[in-house]
Amino acid sequence: MTLELGLNQQPAHTRQGSSIGQPLTRRDGFLKVTGTARFAADNNPPGMLYAVLAVSSIARGRVVSLDVEAAKAHAGVVEVMTPLNRPALAVDPDAKDHSFMFRLDLLQNDGVRYPNQSIAVVIGQTLEAATEGAALLSPRYEELPARVGLDGAKSFVPRGVGVGNPAVQEKGDVEAGLKSARTRIEATYETPAQYHNAMEPHAIVAAWDGDRLSIDTPSQGLAMAQGRIAGLFGIAPQNVHIRSPFLGGGFGSKGMISGPQVLGILAARLVGRPVKLVLRREQMYGPVGHRAPTRQTLRMGMDGEGLLTAISHHARTTSSTFDDFFEPAADASHTLYASPAIATSHDAVRLDTGTPLFMRAPGEATGSIALESAIDEAAHACGMDPLEFRLRNYAEVEPMTGKPFSSKALRECYEQAAEAFGWASRPLQPRRMRDADGFLTGWGMGTATFPALMFQAEARAVLRADGSGLMETGAQDMGQGAWTAFAQIAADGLGLDIDQVDFRAGSSDLPNAGIAGGSGHTATAGMAIHNAGAAVIANLADLATGDEASPLFGAGNEGVVARGGRLYRRDDESRGESYAEILVRAGLTEIEGRGKGAPDPASQETYAMHAHGAVFAEVKVDPDLGQIRVTRLVGAFAAGRVINPRLVRSQYYGGMIWGVSFALHEEAVTDRRFGRIQNANLADYHVPVNADVPSVEALLVHEDDPYVNALGIKGVGEIGITGTAGAVANAVWHATGVRARRFPIRIEDLL
């Protein structure tokens, strides 16, 4: 079965134009704004019950008792799942084969290793009954003191950071570089824990039919989720069917299948009926990942010309007590600024928290805040304009590896954004600008960067005898517009108008589209689509060029071009015929092609591949109250080929607004006595609202990259968040003369 998304329900005006480079609106936008898009939790199969998690209120210890009888006696409660009756799994949820697999809490024992860990699941006829039942469990605990904070117990050097980068890296002699420097800076910056807080909480509707499992759940990687679930339950992957047509945001937290999603499947197994489980907002502060806090120390040396002689970037971060994910914050210093000596290192503290996870630009987002702040401090120490300082230390090759860049239009980003912002009239010294209302005004900048990553993906293309085309890949759309971009690449690859292409995605029975993460989804699944299109066109050309009745006979496969639903002779475009004519004459109803997307190992070996950008920020600070307002943001980004400028710009806006959030709003506050997150809700966990978002401008800088992939796509999902927070912090300094080194910046930091 494939999923029909009703994409043809769009109003006609959105269906004009086609193909790569067009600023089309989202193909799923109409369904979303009319409320007809069906998200995972909107599904209600017949006989469905509601499951509610009971979660731990302590950070560390064990559950001594649960009043299961009281819960079961409550009207409407059907069953309570605890470690005593939880259905068996084929593998231990604490087993781990590789660094890209995470340990899950699936009621395997009575232990508690972080607040909000699942300790039971209550299943009821209604959501209310299950919720009330869960409240009656009255857990009693044996509690141990919570380990909290970056200063915690013994720190250690992790074996790897992120999903496997070396924790310590060094080039040249940093200490010698610092010693020989004319000017030096040293500063320590702190970034807080953050939670993904997608609008749509993790949710699952699970139904078993014998040993076949059917689920609706948001996932950034359907094939990976399918494999993990199949492994846990000891069934064949093809027996697990996942539908994930829409995600209400993911940001990394839906990259891996989470514990609560698997508990929904276990609950359905236990009661033998379909079950829906949806996390409450506060329950998302634990089992579904977070961005770990960091404390980063930067040391830089500069010679008399303002050239860097050394960069040392050390990051302390945290992980859980039972698994390994370490925010690779210091790695940001590998790629941006030329220096004869660079050293990066990480150490970590284990805390009683859920395991951290990749969260939007993991590493680069946290690291670039510290790096871009330190660069600003270094420029000031040298008496130089921050843009001039960055240009002076511009990296012509990747600093850490010495590899050439596959492409790098960062200089153009600096120029275009600075021009649009009006940077040239910036006074060098801080506290020199006030607006008409007396607010201190400051301008700051930051450099944005993110690697151009690719993973593995597959796609299937079909051309039909009625002249239409089909493109299938199990891709994800988290709201970023991926499906629109993919449909554009599909239309281009098939040589059809976008209206003639039936694009299908969002289901695990389609070809594996890999993960929507690492800003690599468009490049990876896009290349699979492109190659599948090329394959089906080649098959069709074989038919025509080998058929004496065709005007293309004898042209050879290379001698044929596809456009507008027709094949033409390359040497004589007046001779050609339609796809439909070729198929009908051959007696075929359709013809198929398949393609893969994957990184090219040779290019990867030779080139450093990154997207770049420059962000300029204006802030206004109340001189009496210290209140900070961002009033203007201008970014310019170069990320290879742009498939859809409207959607790409929207991605940059989203990233830059998240950068404002990082600088001024977001922070998960831990109660140091109990280890609980005190602001586990969207009222107290601050994110920007419209009133906080200034005028935001994102410029798209042209960049051709012949090496990243045949389409020249680098990826735009995460780069906007890098650079922006540093730009805001630097603008705050320029307004006030106060260097805030703790994020988010608070009013009291300025007084």
Binding site for ligand MOS (CB under 6 A): 220, 250-252, 255, 358-360, 362, 517-518
Nearest approach, Cβ of residue 517 and ligand MOS (Å) = 3
DSSP tag of 508: T
Nearest approach, Cβ of residue 600 and ligand MOS (Å) = 21
Identify which of residues 253 and 345 has a Cβ nearer to ligand MOS in the complex: 253
Helices (H) and strands (E) in the chain, counts: 16, 27
Of the candidates 232, 200, 233, 198, the residue with the CA atom closest to the CA atom of residue 216:
200
Identify which of residues 61 and 514 has a Cβ nearer to ligand MOS in the complex: 514
Nearest approach, Cβ of residue 682 and ligand MOS (Å) = 20
DSSP symbols for 46-57: TT-EEEEEEE-S
Nearest approach, Cβ of residue 254 and ligand MOS (Å) = 8
DSSP tag of 424: G
Identify which of residues 253 and 468 has a Cβ nearer to ligand MOS in the complex: 253
Nearest approach, Cβ of residue 263 and ligand MOS (Å) = 22
- List residues bridging with 337 in a β-sheet: 394
Rounded CA separation 345/326 (Å): 12
Nearest approach, Cβ of residue 220 and ligand MOS (Å) = 6
Whether 718 is a known active-site residue: answer yes
Catalytic residue among 128, 666, 718, 748: 718
Nearest approach, Cβ of residue 721 and ligand MOS (Å) = 10
Residue type, 686: H
- The answer for 643, left when phi > 0, alpha when psi is -120 to 50, beta otherwise, is alpha
CA 115 to chain centroid, in Å, comes to 25
Rounded CA separation 751/740 (Å): 11
SS3 category, 454: coil
Nearest approach, Cβ of residue 360 and ligand MOS (Å) = 5
Rounded CA separation 295/630 (Å): 25
Q: Are strands 77-81 and 308-320 parallel, antiparallel or unpaired?
A: unpaired
Identify which of residues 448 and 562 has a Cβ nearer to ligand MOS in the complex: 448
Identify which of residues 243 and 521 has a Cβ nearer to ligand MOS in the complex: 521
Burial 718-734 (b: 16+ CB within 10 A, else e): bbbbbbbbbbbbbbbbb
Under a CB-based contact definition with an 8 Å cutoff, are residues 552 and 571 in contact? no
Nearest approach, Cβ of residue 309 and ligand MOS (Å) = 34
Contacts of 653-657 with CB under 8 Å at 24 or more apart are: 653/696, 653/698, 653/720, 654/480, 654/720, 655/360, 655/361, 655/717, 655/718, 655/719, 655/720, 655/721, 655/722, 655/724, 656/615, 656/696, 656/698, 656/720, 656/721, 656/724, 657/688, 657/693, 657/696
Rounded CA separation 160/154 (Å): 18
Identify which of residues 266 and 359 has a Cβ nearer to ligand MOS in the complex: 359
Rounded CA separation 671/679 (Å): 9
Identify which of residues 360 and 620 has a Cβ nearer to ligand MOS in the complex: 360
Q: Nearest residue by C-beta to ligand MOS?
A: 252
Rounded CA separation 517/522 (Å): 10
H or E stretch covering 593 = strand 590-597
Identify which of residues 189 and 251 has a Cβ nearer to ligand MOS in the complex: 251
As a dihedral over the C-alpha atoms of residue 116, residue 118, residue 121, residue 122, rounded to 10 degrees, the angle is: -20
Identify which of residues 250 and 260 has a Cβ nearer to ligand MOS in the complex: 250
Nearest approach, Cβ of residue 201 and ligand MOS (Å) = 16
Under a CB-based contact definition with an 8 Å cutoff, are residues 345 and 294 in contact? no
**Nearby residues of 134 by Cβ (< 8 Å), 6 or more positions away:** 52, 53, 54, 71, 120, 122
Nearest approach, Cβ of residue 172 and ligand MOS (Å) = 31
Of the candidates 727, 728, 743, 719, the residue with the CA atom closest to the CA atom of residue 361:
719
In degrees rounded to 5, what are phi and psi of residue 685? -90, 105
CA 208 to chain centroid, in Å, comes to 31
SS3 category, 511: coil
Identify which of residues 500 and 519 has a Cβ nearer to ligand MOS in the complex: 519
Joined together, the tokens standing for residue 427 give 């006074």
SS3 category, 346: strand
Nearest approach, Cβ of residue 318 and ligand MOS (Å) = 17
Identify which of residues 315 and 543 has a Cβ nearer to ligand MOS in the complex: 315
Identify which of residues 358 and 443 has a Cβ nearer to ligand MOS in the complex: 358
Return the active site residues.
718
